[in-house]
Amino acid sequence: MPKSQRPSAVEANDVAEVVQADATPLDGEEFLAANRASRERLRAEAAEKAERKSDKQSARDRVPGKVPSATTGTKARNAIIVLGALVVILAASTAYFAYGMVQADRRAEASGPSAADRSQVMDLARTYASSLATYDPADYGDLDRRIREVSTPDFAKTYITSSQDARRGNADARGTSRAESKDAGLQTMTDTKAVVLVTLDQTVTSPEVNSQVPDGIPYQSRVKVTLEKRDGRWLLSDFDTV
């Protein structure tokens, strides 16, 4: 998917590791820069780990008297590598990100929106983020319909257009994503615009690697959701990983 949907594939036990070293409470640009730097490092480590596991699996398949299928082996290996670009564990720990959400909530409270208004935009941000991160490669039309229903026209057009390369890259792996969001923190809010930090939990599955990771590959990310109020309704106008 677009820049918010570029994870890496590893087995379920591996993706449970969350790096907490140097997880000091940062705010603003330092907080975002630390996450981005850690994400790049973990993407490279996860891709290397996935390739090593694929090599080991290929070695186990080469038993006496058995002629392995080159096509099957290559497809499985390619699927793991492609999913390696779909799922990555971000470095920020839950506690680390929670600090950022608390600080965001405090800033929002000082700006004046009512508790009901704050609750509404946070609920919408969680719902919209989960909807965008849930997709089936057999029916991207359904994803596009959902995007248009909750987004400004400009964002919907940009998001759908920019996702085409990622969709083509997912054609062979057939990675399917299911997502949910349990937590959100309001960063800023005015009468017509709100910025919300959201936790996003995805599970990516693929028929090419189901035998190795039958429960799917978990992916935890943190996203910044921007909403704009149009004709009395809050619509999605930006979506980015932090």
Q: What is the pLDDT of residue 86?
A: 55
Task: Delimit the domains of the chain by residue range.
Answer: 3-241
Q: What is the pLDDT of residue 210?
A: 85
Q: What is the pLDDT of residue 172?
A: 85
Q: What is the pLDDT of residues 157-213, one digit of tens each?
A: 999 999 999 899 888 889 999 999 999 999 999 999 999 999 999 999 999 888 888
Q: What is the pLDDT of residues 85-114, one digit of tens each?
A: 554 433 334 444 555 555 555 555 555 788
pLDDT tier at 119, thresholds 50, 70, 90 = very high
Q: What is the pLDDT of residue 7?
A: 42
* Averaged pLDDT of the chain: 73
Q: What's 3-241's CATH class?
A: alpha beta
Apex 240 CA angle, 165 and 113, nearest 5: 150
Taking a C-beta distance cutoff of 8 angstroms, is the pair 167, 140 a contact?
yes
Phi, psi of 168 (to 5 degrees): -65, -35
pLDDT tier at 28, thresholds 50, 70, 90 = very low
Q: Whole-angstrom Cα distance, residue 25 to residue 221?
A: 18
In which residue are the tokens 């937590």 written? 183
SS3 56: helix
Task: Find the mean pLDDT for residues 3-18.
Answer: 39
